[in-house]
Amino acid sequence: MSYQALARKWRPRRFSELVGQEHVVRALTHALDSGRLHHAFLFTGTRGVGKTTIARIFAKSLNCEKGPTSNPCGECAACAEIDAGRFVDLLEIDAASNTGVDNVRDLIENAMYAPTRGRYKVYLIDEVHMLSKPAFNALLKILEEPPQHVKFLLATTDPQKLLVTVLSRCIKFNLKRLSPEQIGGQMRHILGAEHVAFDDEGIDVLARAADGSLRDGLSLLDQAIAHGGGALHAHEVHAMLGTVERAKVRVLLEILAAGDGGALLAEVERIAEFSPDFAQVLDELAGLLHRIQLLQLVPDAAGDDGAELGALASRLAAQDVQLWYQMAVTGRRDLPLAPTPRVGFEMALLRMLAFVPAGAMGATAARPTAPPRAAAAPASAPARADAPPPLPRESPRRIEPAVEARIDPPRASKPDASAAPADWAGLIDRAGLRGPVGQLAQNATLVAIEGNVVRLAMDPSYEHLAEGSMVGLLEQRLGGALGRDVKVRFERAASGAQTPAEQRTRAETARRSAAEEAVQGDPFVQSMIETFGARVIPDSIRPTDG
Each residue's pLDDT tens digit, 458-503: 877 777 777 777 788 888 889 888 888 888 888 877 656 678 777 7
Pick the range with the lowest mean pLDDT from 30-39, 296-305, 443-452: 296-305
Mean predicted confidence (pLDDT) in 273-298: 88
458: nearest Cα among 434, 432, 433, 494: 494
For the chain, give every domain's residue range: 6-174, 180-241, 246-356, 370-381+398-403+413-546
Mean predicted confidence (pLDDT) in 275-295: 89
Report d(CA 151, CA 172) in Å as an integer: 14
Each residue's pLDDT tens digit, 321-345: 998 999 999 999 999 999 999 999 9
Q: Is the pLDDT of residue 385 over 70?
A: no
Q: Is the pTM of this model over 0.75?
A: no
Give the pLDDT score at 336. 92
Mean predicted confidence (pLDDT) in 265-275: 88
Q: Does domain 180-241 have CATH number 3.40.50.720?
A: no
Report d(CA 466, CA 469) in Å as an integer: 8
Q: Which helix (H) or strand (E) holds 27?
A: helix 22-34
Each residue's pLDDT tens digit, 176-198: 999 989 999 999 999 999 999 99
The β-bridge relationship of strands 376-378 and 534-536 is antiparallel
Which amino acid is residue 510, in one-letter code? Answer: A
Mean predicted confidence (pLDDT) in 377-392: 39
Architecture, CATH, for domain 6-174: 3-Layer(aba) Sandwich (3.40)
Q: Which helix (H) or strand (E) holds 53?
A: helix 51-63
Q: Is the pLDDT of residue 524 over 60?
A: yes
Q: Is the pLDDT of residue 120 over 50?
A: yes
Which amino acid is residue 533, in one-letter code? Answer: G
Give the pLDDT score at 412. 39
Residues 104, 131 contacting (CB under 8 angstroms):
yes
264: nearest Cα among 354, 387, 339, 178: 354
Q: pLDDT tier at 514 (50, 70, 90 boundaries)?
A: confident
Q: Is the pLDDT of residue 420 over 60?
A: no
Q: In what order do the strands lie in the sheet with 487-492?
A: 444-450, 453-458, 487-492
Give the pLDDT score at 359. 38
Give the pLDDT score at 276. 85
Q: Which helix (H) or strand (E) holds 3?
A: none
User: What's the mean pLDDT when you consider all of the chain?
Assistant: 80
Each residue's pLDDT tens digit, 287-315: 899 989 988 888 777 666 656 788 888 88
To which CATH superfamily is domain 370-381+398-403+413-546 assigned?
Answer: DNA polymerase III, tau subunit, domain V (3.30.300.150)
Specify the higher pLDDT residue, 232 or 412. 232
Pick the range with the lowest mean pLDDT from 54-63, 80-89, 456-465: 456-465
Residues 239, 202 contacting (CB under 8 angstroms):
no
Architecture, CATH, for domain 246-356: Up-down Bundle (1.20)
* Domains 180-241 and 370-381+398-403+413-546 agree in fold: no
Cα distances (angstroms) measured from residue 334 to each of 169, 338, 400, 469, 542: 45, 7, 21, 39, 34
Each residue's pLDDT tens digit, 216-264: 999 999 999 998 888 998 888 888 887 777 888 888 998 888 888 888 9
Q: Is the pLDDT of residue 81 over 60?
A: yes
Residues 441, 466 contacting (CB under 8 angstroms):
no
Q: Is the pLDDT of residue 536 over 60?
A: yes
Residue 22 burial (C-beta neighbours within 10 Å; 0-12, 13-18, 19+): exposed
Report d(CA 28, CA 56) in Å as an integer: 12
Report d(CA 446, CA 493) in Å as an integer: 10
Query: Within 452-546, where are the H helices?
Result: 468-482, 500-520, 523-532
Report d(CA 183, CA 20) in Å as an integer: 9
Report d(CA 318, CA 296) in Å as an integer: 7
What is 83-127 written as a DSSP string?
A: HHT--TTEEEEETTT--SHHHHHHHHHHHTSPPSSSSSEEEEEET
Give the pLDDT score at 545. 57
Cα 390 from chain centre: 32
Q: Is the pLDDT of residue 380 over 60?
A: no
Give the pLDDT score at 215. 92
Q: Is the pLDDT of residue 371 over 70?
A: no
